[in-house]
Structure 1
Amino acid sequence: MIALTVNISQVKALSPDQTCKLVQNNTYIADPNNCQGWILCRNGAGTYGTCNDDLYYDSTNGVCDFPQNVNCNTNVETMCSGLTDVYKADPNDCNKYCYCHEGETYCVKCPTGQVYDSVAIKCVWASSSSCIANSPCLLVQNGFMGDGKSCNGWLRCADGQVVSKGVCGTDRYFNPNNGLCDYPQNVKCASNPVGPPGPSVNEDPVAPAGLCKKAGYFYSDNLSCTGYFYCPKANDQGQFGKCPKNSAFSESLQQCVDPDKVVCNKDRCDGVTKSFMAIANTKCMQYYNCRDGASYAQGKCPSGNPYLNEIAGVCQEKKPNYPICN
C-alpha cells in the first residue's frame, strides 16, 4: 500500500497586490522590500506598515520578532543583518545565493542551468529543486491561499514554499476568506468579480416540478450525494433533507447508507470526514482529496497500487469490493 499525495509543480512569484487578492481578509503579509515591513491585506488591497523597535516581520508566524529569530527572505541588502557564516538564497534570483558574514552580504551566481537549493545548501540542476524566489508563498503565513491562475485553484504554503496545490471540486471556487472550497456566488475572483447569480448557500434546494410521483417516497436531490426530497403525497411539494455526516443517500435502498455503497457522480467529499474518496466510474483508481466536507483536489493511485481503499485511506494492489469500485 502507498500513502496518497498531491503533486507539486513550480509556480511563479506574485506581487503584494496580487497576493492580497488571494489570501484571507485582514491577513498580514511580508513587505518584499523591507524586512521590518508588513502589509495588511483588506478587501483585496494592501496597507503598508513597519514593526517597531527595529524588529523584523516574521511572515511565517505573522508576528514582529527579533532579527535573529526571523528568516527574512525578502530583501538581499538586509537579509544578512545580524548573521555570520550563513548561506542564503537570493530572494529575487533562483540562480544566485549569498554568504552572510558579520552582517555583510556577498552574492555569487550558480553555474549555467543550476539554481541554489537552500535545503541542500548548494547549487543543483534546476529540474531537481524548487526556488523560493519563484514561490507565491514567499510573503505569506503558513496556510492556504488562491493560486492566482483560476478561481478554483489553491496552494498550501509552509515556510515560504508551496508544499501542495490543487483545485476545488466541480462547481466550487476557492474562497480565500475562509480557506474553503465554496459556492461561486460567495467568491470574488479575477475572472468572477461579483459571482454568478444563484441561490444563497443557506437556502434549501426546491424540489423540481413533478418530482413527487409516489407517495411516501424519497428522491435524490440530484445536486449532491447526501441530499434528498421526501414526498408525503403524490404530486406534493417535496421536503428537503440531508443524510447525517459520513453517510450518503441511496434512492434504490430508500435510506442513508455508508458512502462506499452508493455510486454518486457528485462531490463524494460532501458531508464526510475522510481525507480521500473514490471518484465514481473510475473503479476506485482515482480519488478526491477532501477537507471540511468538500473536495479540493483530485489524484490517481500509482500503477503498483492502483486502487483506493477509501475506508483505510490508502492505495492498494487489490480492488476493494465496494459498489463505488464496480
Structure 2
Amino acid sequence: MLCPDGLHFNPNARWPEYACGYPQDVPCVGRGITQPANPTAGCAHQYGYFPSPVADPNDCGHYRICNAGRAIEMFCPAGLAFNPVTAQCDWPELVPTCNVETYIRYQCPPAAIGRNGNPVVTNHKYEGDCSAFYSCMNGHARILSCDTGLAFNPVTSRCEDALHVHCEAKSIAKYY
C-alpha cells in the first residue's frame, strides 16, 4: 500500500493511529525514494504545507495547505511567519526567506548588554492596539500581546490592569 501523495508512511504508528503522516512529522530518511507527485493546479502534492504562490512577497505569514489536492490559503497567528523548512509557523527571524523588519514593520533599537553580559530584552509600544507590544530580543522584534484584561503600558514597558493604562487606540488593529 502507498500513502497518499505528500504523506510518508510511519512505521511507528500503532492502531488506531493513521499510518501516514506529513514529512515534517515522519521523516523518510534511508527508506528509498518517495512516490511520484500527483499535482493539481494549486498544489505540488495532494497533501502538505507550502509557501503560498499568491502571497504578497512581504507577507511571511501567508501559506497554503493542500488537502486532497485542494489548496486552502492560511495565515500564521499574528507576529509569526511560515517556515517552509519545518512547515510550521515560527518566529520571523528563524525563517531565512522572511524580511523581518518589512514583515513586522518595526526595527528594534540596538540590543543593550546587561551587567551579566546577556542581551537585555526591551518592550515597546505597538501603535493601534493597547494589548499588543513589540518585544526586542537580541535585536529581533517579536509581536506579543497582554493577557485578557491587561494592556501594555509604554511608561513601564509592561502589561498592567487595562483600567489603569491610558490608551488612545479605538479598535484592535491587525498586527501586520
Q: TM-score range by the shorter chain?
A: 0.3 to 0.5
TM score, norm. by length of structure 1? 0.26
* Larger gyration radius, structure 1 or structure 2: 1
TM score, norm. by length of structure 2? 0.41
Q: Which has the higher strand share?
A: 1
